[in-house]
Amino acid sequence: MKGFREQALLRIKQSELTVTVDVDTAMSRVETNRQRVDTARKTRELNEEAVRIAYRRLEEGQISSFDLIEQQRKLYDARSRELAARADLNKAVVNIWQATGTVLENTGVSIAKPAHRKDFPEASKAGGFPVRKGK
């Protein structure tokens, strides 16, 4: 019996270590992705300003429409990188929720035990869901 208890305690400790490492890794990813979002946001803002300047310069005849389109392409790329960074940040946050077992809580999902239904007495046999017979 003592051997089983020691094995169980060892498995618990191993699980605790795994959760700790998973949470630390997920938190590092969140911080890294927050920095990526910040950098991508600043880059997008700079590219938006560059497009505004390019429009003015085009109106003044200082650049060609090709140059303006090139600035617009750079802005598009910056927006795409910002969206990708935001998506990665959201994934990292969900990884923390998974590691801590709080996905349902953080997404507002609750699981309630279904009430016994008199009109479907067999529902309690089917996990609370009504079961229709026939047809």
pTM for the complete prediction?
0.69
| Residue 116 lies inside a defined structural domain of this protein | no
For residues 82 and 43, is the Cβ–Cβ distance under 8 A? yes
- The tens digit of pLDDT for each residue in 35-84 reads 999 999 999 999 999 999 999 999 999 999 999 999 999 999 999 999 99
**Is-contact 57 116, C-beta < 8 A?**
no
CB 96 within 8 Å of CB 24: no
pLDDT in tens, 7-22: 999 999 999 899 899 8
In a domain, residue 121? The reply is no
- pLDDT band for 113, please (50, 70, 90 cuts): confident
Rg (CA), the chain: 28
Give how many domains the chain has, as a whole number. 1
Domain assignment present for 79: yes
Q: Is residue 108 part of a domain?
A: no
- Residue 135 has a pLDDT of 46
In a domain, 63, yes or no: yes
- Residue 118 falls within a domain, yes or no? no
Cβ partners under 8 Å of residue 33, min gap 6:
85, 88, 89, 92
* Residue 111, domain member (yes or no): no
In a domain, 114, yes or no: no
Domain boundaries, position 84: 2-101
